[in-house]
Structure 1
Amino acid sequence: MLFQRAKHLRTKAFKAQGLSQIISQAALSTASRRNGYDDTVQNLKIGAHTRVIFQGFTGKLATANAKESMEWGTNVVGGVKPKGSGEHLGLPVLPSVRAAMEQLKPDATGIYVAAHQATAAIEEAIEAEVPLIVAVAEHIPLHDVMRIHSMLQSQSKSRLVGANAPGIISAIGRCRIGFQPLPTFSPGHIGIVAKSGTLSYETVGSLTRAGLGQSLCIGVGGDVIAGTNFVDALKVFEHDDDTEAIIIVGELGGTTEEEAADWITAYRKRVKIPKPIAAVVGGFQAPSGKVMGHAGAWTGLGEGTAESKYRALERAGVNMVDHPAKFGGVMKNILAKSGRSVKKIEQSATHAQKRRSYHTSRFLRRPTLNTTSPVSAQQRQSLHLTADQSSSLLKTYNISLTIPPEGSPSTHYLGISPARSARSPSIIAAPTANPSQLHQRVKRFSFDYREGPTTDTINAAIAHLQLDAAPPKAKAQTAELIKNLWKLYREKEAIDAHVSLALSVEDDEILIYSPYLVFDDAAYRSNKRQADLHELRDKKMIAATGLEAEEAGIVYIPLASPVFPSGTAQNNTQTAPTSEAQGEPRNLVGTLVNGAGLALNAVDVLHTRLSPSTAAANFLDTGGKATSATISTSFKLILSDPRVSVVFVNIFGGLTQCDMIAEGIILAFKEVGVEKPVVVRLRGTNEEEGRRVLMQAQLPIHAFDDFEEAVAKVGGLAHGGR
């Protein structure tokens, strides 16, 4: 069975029944507020009819993107520049979104501004009632996103895609609102919904090569809270006559994959001939507690692992694959079995030319912060506080800690966390603080970001804590603790603010201990908020490789070694151990990948394809803004790990061009002194030029375009092969 070797299985602790309870609770608590927003799902059905405007229209990135989209066929009707007027690209420029709505009657807006400006731009579009709002920027602070969703859930006009997303694109309707690499797409009949941009491009490329093409591709993005989720997309695909089959591209974090599985189970029961569905899930080998490139790629309490997501979709009748390059062949097979007839794209000279341009066209990188902005565009990180720092901060919010009590008759777990499905903050509560039981017994009680937790919500959480029958003094203290935690959470822009509780037998008071505080670093990096918290960060506690990666905008996470011959497993640390006496393997694979989702998937596949003693040494995402210098730095980081015996560069060129990657590899050989064998797999934009550059360099590099061939070569080289 696929992925039997996954290390961090928690399937037993995360039964389907428990997940259903968590999802149902969150849904029930917000159902009345979300009905209006649910009605906007229909706004996702874009096409040739869609009238598009750009916010930030005259900016460099928006200008280039608009030109490309218009040449492709997108019906761009103008744009917005605050306090601006006149024309741009032969189209009207208006001073506000409201003015654009009145004069241009757009169906959708693409927001092409930096993260520190994006919140205001999204809010302006909601207030103007633009039907579809597409936000592509990374690093929008979580609390800004929750406030935006508080607005969205109280209306029924606007639908949000993103943020931190490639956008939405109709290949049939020639409508792009985002930054997807256009030559990868071809008109067809497969609908795609994806968290990862690079994995979606890989999926699209596989379908295009198979002659199937795509109908509608929705990139929901990798943030903690997404404006559109998998179930929203599935509802559109179900009733879309152009969509004959569906692909889901998921990863660890949240519960949207399990919610999709529940929806698919019900769909297959109510529809006589359901549309076939296939999926891939990334993140099987992600270490616990790490944010894996995407801001939302981490597993919270009560959320499933990649393994449980995979199994949920499989039980729902979804055809699962382990790598998106397989989707072309898989979709042909399941379409044939379903009895559906999908017209293949005509292979005319025009289409053939478009296929050739798939390898040679150049595209812009994804929007990021302006180069003139004083704010860094580093990868998003979470800020953790030490125990002493947490204690001091909690005291300022009237929360005093004690040492963990001994022999207490009861313990409880309480905090504030995001409720991803409800798109809001929530009280997180469990009647136990035992780590082995938290996943089964935790519940979220969501509430509106702007209103804060209501008395009913607080009482429901206290009841689940099994403190509703506690002495009045302890019950009142618990309610006050929730209010204080929420105040800290909101004012300091936390991601998680949790504590453990015990009821003192002697004086009927609650004892508070073991705080867990995590803050959104994007609030500082994008908006220069929470500077006092940011200053608490002790860089001495971060490995040198971690700091170097952060400064270069790279996400680099060393991974644990496979099980040693002695039967013990190496702990995951920021610095790789070097002792051969302990049985440290020396045949691990250093990975260099563009895109968090693709990097997660590459690590997973290496784990299953290679021998038990060989696996990936690291997760490394160069990010969408990779340059030749970034690639060189990535090699330096990878080769600082003595366990690495071969380097695997896995690139799907969308916004990142393959020839640029090739130049970066050559630069690494010159600057870093690469002495380990290197396997390079290049697909996508400029792939032929990239392979030509590598060949002309006459370096010991093994270049492939096929993923499976590249992985096989990596396995051979890891064990001393040639």
Structure 2
Amino acid sequence: MALRSLPRRAPQMGMRWTRRFSSSPRNASYADTLPNLKIGAHTRVLFQGFTGRQATANVKESLEWGTKIVGGVKPGVEGEHLGLPVFPSVKVAQEKAKPDASAIYVPGNQTAQAIEEAIEAEIPLVVAVAEHVPIHDILRIHSMLQTQSKTRLVGANCPGIISAIGKCRIGFQPLPCFAPGNVGIVAKSGTLSYETVASTTRAGLGQSLCISMGGDVLAGTNFVDALKIFEHDEDTEGIILVGEIGGTAEMDAAEWIKDYRRRTADPKPIMALVGGLEAPPGRIMGHAGAWAAPGEPDGQTKYQALERAGAVMVNHPEKFGEGMKTLLGNKATRPGTSVSSNVSQKRGFHTMRRFTPTSQSAVQQKRNLYIKQFQALDILKQKSIPVNETVSSSDGSVSISVDRTALSPCIVASPGPEFEPARSRKFPFSYKLANFEGQSVISEVVSHLGLPASAQGKLASLVRALWEIFKEKEAFVLETRIGLSAEGNLEVHGAHFGFDDAAYRSSGRQEAIHSLRNKAEEVLEEVEAEKDGIVYVKLQGEGSIGTLVNGAGLAMNTVDALTIHGGHCANFLDTGGKATSETVKSSFRIICSDPRVKAVFVNIFGGLTRCDMIAEGIIMAFRDLDMQVPVVVRLRGTNEELGQKMIAESGLPLHAFDGFEAAAKKVISLAENK
């Protein structure tokens, strides 16, 4: 069977909404599941992994809030838990309880199997919250989702979806931040979405529906899907989009916004933020999906695209509330321009200070997902692919990676030695049906690269070998630089291979490939942080401010915003969703081991963790480590006033703030004067 090329995924609304968009009949597809996102008081929720500790705590909170939970699943077991029925399978639960949605609370290595069971039972909405779901497990799930029209997926690696109006929570969002209102929010980052929610609540706007796209490479629901829901949702009057580096979802959203504003007489105001503007090239910034694959745009490009499309951009989520209030109060204000001094970016991209990165290959090698070039070339030699390391120039670049829009693997080809977005082209194909025998896609790749037709067979052999490596060893990106020898033979001149650490860490697979890692050659602080479950990235440059943040998206945005204000950050640090006294202590120790650090900025949003608990951890860590540098602490979220009071009364050189602007100015001043 020939390789099947997939079209770009362009979701349309479901059959129930067909008349609103089209009068012509069409075949059913995954796009038909889009209306399933419109949850509310009517939504009947099932839990998979029902009796686990996290699910149990979540069910109690959600029930008290008003969510209609009809029971849960524990494989092979029937009974009762929390006064609700326990079903032996999703199929039985579907037959007896008729759920509209399922919340999956199982570990990452079990998530794909749980999603598959829900798809087979035709549950309308499936929400997967787990991190560390192997990429190839999700690729297989998406190959199933694209062939059906009953089940919609949100996630994985996301807080979930929540209707503040309908009191329906499917996920682990911090409920005290939410209030019924009129703003629809879609976000990649959990912590940034909580900050955004809290900002709109403080502004008196509240939220209608909040959808998490999640931080994984492959999202079951993307920005455009959410925007289509918000467009026709009568409860939603304003829309907020929170993006970050990695993939092209923000670019797709920009195109949708541009079209929406062109065809709509009175469009709803849209605001946006992009995290990771200062992220070093080639690094994975906490979230599994926060990295740019070959040919993908960087954060600056995404920001500019959204701004040109008409979205009002901000540099910090606390500005969303008052900014949206202004826009809703004056719809005549044209989005894309400053509505107040507190809404738009203070400096444009052309004036923003940038870190001076080292070479891309040197930066990337610091991540444990990548192997060295000679190791990648050895793998190719084992597949009988001609390799010539002595040639410095190349005729083009070919990669096997993941197309996040088509939700499938893809060939990425560029006629130059680098994967420049303007010259690169993606060729998505089916995860299940790829065998490259027909070579129809290969001929397109040959044409795009400008190679002679005689090279088609050799290129097919290379692509087939890359695809075998991709599947066998669970890679997420395999890059090669190729060229033609004097004899006209196709050969590989360089290679850069990255492999999925989730397959190894959460599922115990691919030990051989991950054993190639040499920690002794990596950045010491990054290796030390990893032992404590902390994601730490040492940034290049003068870096006088150390950062300690809970959540990858918020950590990226913290570095961005401090840089815009004139600060010089030494690191990116994500303690994870729950900052504890131990992780805070370890974080301080690692940050202060960098002699460049003159002041530390702690930016914590207490959503799942209370601010008073975080404040206690900061005070204990400060005393235990005999800290010698000043620390500025910004606490927001649950019990924020108590946490700020504890910091202020500690008697330690800690400076407590609730607003970002004041905190940023203080830490920059301290770092400059130290």
**Structures share fold, TM-score greater than 0.5:** yes
Equivalent-residue separation in structure 2 for 1:592 and 1:119 (angstroms): 32
1:257 corresponds to 2:250: yes
**Worse-superposed segment, 65-74 or 654-663:** 654-663
Per the TM alignment, residue 29 of structure 1 is displaced from its structure 2 partner at its CA by 7.9
Per the TM alignment, residue 679 of structure 1 is displaced from its structure 2 partner at its CA by 0.5
**Worse-superposed segment, 311-320 or 181-190:** 311-320
CA contact (8 A) 2:413 2:424 kept: yes
1:532 corresponds to 2:512: yes
Alignment correspondent of 1:464: 448
| Partner SS for 2:210 | strand
| Partner SS for 2:512 | helix
**Worse-superposed segment, 219-228 or 437-446:** 437-446
Alignment correspondent of 1:607: 563
Alignment correspondent of 2:340: none
Alignment correspondent of 1:512: 492
CA contact (8 A) 2:550 2:578 kept: no
Equivalent-residue separation in structure 2 for 1:667 and 1:630 (angstroms): 12
| Partner SS for 2:233 | coil
Letter in 2 for 1:631: V
| Partner SS for 2:421 | helix
1:174 corresponds to 2:167: yes
CA contact (8 A) 2:648 2:655 kept: no
Alignment correspondent of 1:452: 434
User: Where does 1:273-292 land on structure 2 (aligned, <5 Å)?
Assistant: 273-292=266-285
CA contact (8 A) 1:26 1:419 kept: no
Per the TM alignment, residue 673 of structure 1 is displaced from its structure 2 partner at its CA by 1.7
CA contact (8 A) 1:171 1:188 kept: yes
Equivalent-residue separation in structure 2 for 1:552 and 1:659 (angstroms): 22
CA contact (8 A) 2:442 2:456 kept: no
| Partner SS for 2:240 | strand
1:224 corresponds to 2:233: no
Alignment correspondent of 1:346: none
Q: Deviations over 1:574-620 (max 9, x none)?
A: xxxxxxxxxxx5x711110111111111111111112xxx4111111
Equivalent-residue separation in structure 2 for 1:306 and 1:600 (angstroms): 11
**Worse-superposed segment, 475-484 or 47-56:** 475-484
| Partner SS for 1:192 | strand
1:657 corresponds to 2:610: yes
Per the TM alignment, residue 644 of structure 1 is displaced from its structure 2 partner at its CA by 1.0
| Partner SS for 1:438 | coil
Letter in 2 for 1:395: K
Per the TM alignment, residue 76 of structure 1 is displaced from its structure 2 partner at its CA by 0.3
Equivalent-residue separation in structure 2 for 1:233 and 1:111 (angstroms): 20
Alignment correspondent of 1:571: none
CA contact (8 A) 1:51 1:75 kept: yes
Per the TM alignment, residue 686 of structure 1 is displaced from its structure 2 partner at its CA by 2.1
Alignment correspondent of 2:573: 620
CA contact (8 A) 1:137 1:165 kept: yes
Equivalent-residue separation in structure 2 for 1:532 and 1:306 (angstroms): 34
Equivalent-residue separation in structure 2 for 1:681 and 1:675 (angstroms): 19
Per the TM alignment, residue 453 of structure 1 is displaced from its structure 2 partner at its CA by 5.2
Letter in 2 for 1:602: T
CA contact (8 A) 1:404 1:514 kept: no
2:369 to 379, 383, 392: 383
User: Where does 1:74-113 land on structure 2 (aligned, <5 Å)?
Assistant: 74-113=67-106
Per the TM alignment, residue 87 of structure 1 is displaced from its structure 2 partner at its CA by 1.1
1:715 corresponds to 2:671: no
Root-mean-square deviation over aligned CA pairs: 2.0
User: Where does 1:149-188 land on structure 2 (aligned, <5 Å)?
Assistant: 149-188=142-181
1:403 corresponds to 2:384: no
Per the TM alignment, residue 462 of structure 1 is displaced from its structure 2 partner at its CA by 2.4
1:142 corresponds to 2:135: yes
Equivalent-residue separation in structure 1 for 2:315 and 2:599 (angstroms): 22
CA contact (8 A) 1:34 1:154 kept: no
CA contact (8 A) 1:29 1:446 kept: no
CA contact (8 A) 2:443 2:456 kept: no
1:688 to 632, 638, 641: 641
| Partner SS for 2:598 | strand
Equivalent-residue separation in structure 2 for 1:528 and 1:301 (angstroms): 27
**Worse-superposed segment, 29-38 or 315-324:** 29-38
Q: Deviations over 1:538-560 (max 9, x none)?
A: 11112221111001111111112
Per the TM alignment, residue 339 of structure 1 is displaced from its structure 2 partner at its CA by 7.0
Structure 1 alignment gaps of length 5 or more:
1-24, 341-379, 562-584
Matched-pair identity in %: 57
Per the TM alignment, residue 658 of structure 1 is displaced from its structure 2 partner at its CA by 1.4
Equivalent-residue separation in structure 1 for 2:650 and 2:106 (angstroms): 39
CA contact (8 A) 1:249 1:281 kept: yes
CA contact (8 A) 1:681 1:705 kept: yes
Instruction: Evaluate the alpha carbon distance shift between residue 31 and residue 203 of structure 1 in structure 2; reply closer, same or farther with a 3 A threshold.
Output: closer
Per the TM alignment, residue 404 of structure 1 is displaced from its structure 2 partner at its CA by 4.1
User: Where does 1:349-360 land on structure 2 (aligned, <5 Å)?
Assistant: none
Alignment correspondent of 1:114: 107
CA contact (8 A) 2:183 2:207 kept: yes
Per the TM alignment, residue 719 of structure 1 is displaced from its structure 2 partner at its CA by 2.1
Letter in 2 for 1:510: L
Equivalent-residue separation in structure 1 for 2:453 and 2:389 (angstroms): 21
| Partner SS for 1:439 | coil
Alignment correspondent of 2:552: 596
CA contact (8 A) 1:167 1:179 kept: yes
Per the TM alignment, residue 417 of structure 1 is displaced from its structure 2 partner at its CA by 0.4
| Partner SS for 1:670 | helix
Q: Deviations over 1:267-292 (max 9, x none)?
A: 11111111110111111110011101
1:488 corresponds to 2:469: yes
User: Where does 1:228-239 land on structure 2 (aligned, <5 Å)?
Assistant: 228-239=221-232
Q: Deviations over 1:213-265 (max 9, x none)?
A: 00000011011111110000000001101001100001111111111010011
Equivalent-residue separation in structure 2 for 1:314 and 1:675 (angstroms): 42
CA contact (8 A) 1:447 1:453 kept: no
CA contact (8 A) 1:130 1:157 kept: yes
CA contact (8 A) 1:679 1:701 kept: yes
Equivalent-residue separation in structure 2 for 1:284 and 1:619 (angstroms): 12
CA contact (8 A) 2:49 2:105 kept: yes
2:233 to 240, 243, 249: 240
Equivalent-residue separation in structure 2 for 1:475 and 1:310 (angstroms): 38
Per the TM alignment, residue 628 of structure 1 is displaced from its structure 2 partner at its CA by 0.5
Structure 2 alignment gaps of length 5 or more:
13-25, 334-365
Per the TM alignment, residue 381 of structure 1 is displaced from its structure 2 partner at its CA by 6.2
| Partner SS for 1:267 | helix
Alignment correspondent of 1:479: 460
Q: Deviations over 1:683-704 (max 9, x none)?
A: 1012123223323431111111
Q: Deviations over 1:59-87 (max 9, x none)?
A: 11111101100110000011100001011
Equivalent-residue separation in structure 1 for 2:416 and 2:298 (angstroms): 21
Equivalent-residue separation in structure 2 for 1:29 and 1:238 (angstroms): 19
**Worse-superposed segment, 450-459 or 100-109:** 450-459
Per the TM alignment, residue 298 of structure 1 is displaced from its structure 2 partner at its CA by 1.2
| Partner SS for 1:679 | strand
Per the TM alignment, residue 426 of structure 1 is displaced from its structure 2 partner at its CA by 0.3
1:57 corresponds to 2:50: yes
1:299 to 292, 299, 312: 292
Equivalent-residue separation in structure 1 for 2:476 and 2:565 (angstroms): 36
2:325 to 308, 317, 332: 332
Instruction: Evaluate the alpha carbon distance shift between residue 113 and residue 666 of structure 1 in structure 2; reply closer, same or farther with a 3 A threshold.
Output: same
1:47 to 36, 40, 43: 40
Equivalent-residue separation in structure 2 for 1:166 and 1:381 (angstroms): 26
Alignment correspondent of 2:409: 425
Equivalent-residue separation in structure 2 for 1:240 and 1:158 (angstroms): 20
Per the TM alignment, residue 28 of structure 1 is displaced from its structure 2 partner at its CA by 4.1
Count residues in correspondence. 623
| Partner SS for 1:440 | coil
Letter in 2 for 1:470: A
| Partner SS for 1:401 | coil
CA contact (8 A) 1:191 1:214 kept: yes
CA contact (8 A) 2:8 2:405 kept: no
Letter in 2 for 1:509: N
2:624 to 653, 671, 682: 671
Instruction: Evaluate the alpha carbon distance shift between residue 26 and residue 272 of structure 1 in structure 2; reply closer, same or farther with a 3 A threshold.
Output: farther
Alignment correspondent of 2:650: 697
**Worse-superposed segment, 92-101 or 711-720:** 711-720
Per the TM alignment, residue 27 of structure 1 is displaced from its structure 2 partner at its CA by 4.3
Alignment correspondent of 2:351: none
